[in-house]
Amino acid sequence: MKLKIVILGIASILLFEFFSKNINNNTTNIKNNDTIDVFYIISTEVISSKDTNENISYQAVLNDNEKLAMKLEADYVKNHIFYDNFKFYAPYYHQFTFDAIKLPQNQFDSIYQNVSSEICQIFDDYMKNQNNGHRFILAGFSQGAMLTIDLLKHMTDEQFSRMVANYMLGYRLSEKDLQNSHIKDAKGEFDTQVCVSFNTVLSDKGIWDLVSKDAICCINPVNWKTDTTSATFIYENQEVKISIDTINYVLKAQTNPEIFHKWMNETPIFSSVGVDKDCLHHWDLLFYMDYIHDNAIKRSFNK
């Protein structure tokens, strides 16, 4: 099932609509005083879309197929990362499509501003009607991770004081981002009110500017180091060694590239926007699920 989930990412939206009755949520093993919410923003799950007049839409129109694609990712994240001691929220939203990446920069930027506005309104509605004063984790993958930066800038100081951490899977932090008082990079595995940020590649050729350009920091989610100390794990029965490139601030993976190149070759939407097969953006979620789960527990409950 892992490789069937289309996990891309960037950001953009149009119109505000909060799908409260369709929001995905899950609660397990929670004591009332220990409830930690997770507000998760889904990555780009819609490649292309058309409105009711069959005109091309660069935002998801949220038809049944698009909602299903979003739900599959939300359920996957809920069941593989935030499945214990968490109350999980993952709203549908009018995300920008993968086709939107190909637009001229000014047109893409305009769409992105609409997306950001919608997500901020959704978050406000969540805070007013769902959160109930609980501490919470902010999280997103790719497009979703990009949008978490906007939410950090948008939220109040009181809301920020209740944020455990922001897990930005597959997106970078820039020097400009860190100038905001709500945005701090994680230095280890226990600090709170910080951003966990990383992108994974096989080589410099795999660096995707859309998600990695201007990166100024990075953390290794396997050993929670910010230096070049490497860590090794097993994925699909093969060893993967991860270390931080402190020049480009990305994670470099040393492993047999065959299965990753095969998937990238079979998924031409990436190459259509100039992404090299050494880019492991798709695996920024799949590689580190167990480590993110365990770390979210540590940051939330200091254990």
Residue 86: which of 95, 94, 96, 78 has the closest Cα? 78
Place of tokens 């660069």: 58
Residue 9 has pLDDT above 80, yes or no: no
Candidate from 143-147, 153-157, 252-256, 270-274 with smallest mean pLDDT: 270-274
Q: What is the pLDDT of residue 226?
A: 98
Please, what is the average pLDDT of the chain? Answer: 89
Structure tokens, 203: 């080589």
- Express each pLDDT in 108-145 by its tens digit: 999 999 999 999 999 999 999 999 999 999 999 999 99
- Express each pLDDT in 56-111 by its tens digit: 999 999 999 999 999 999 999 999 999 988 999 999 999 999 999 999 999 999 99
State which amino acid sits at residue 80.
H
Structure tokens, 72: 């599959």
What fold, for 2-199+287-301? Rossmann fold (3.40.50)
- Report, as an integer, the average pLDDT of 257-272: 93
Q: What is the pLDDT of residue 133?
A: 95
Cα–Cα distances in Å, from 130 out to 18, 23, 37, 139?
A: 12, 11, 9, 17
Structure tokens, 111: 């769409």
- Domain residue spans of the chain: 2-199+287-301
Rounded to whole angstroms, the Cα distance separating 154 from 118 reads 12
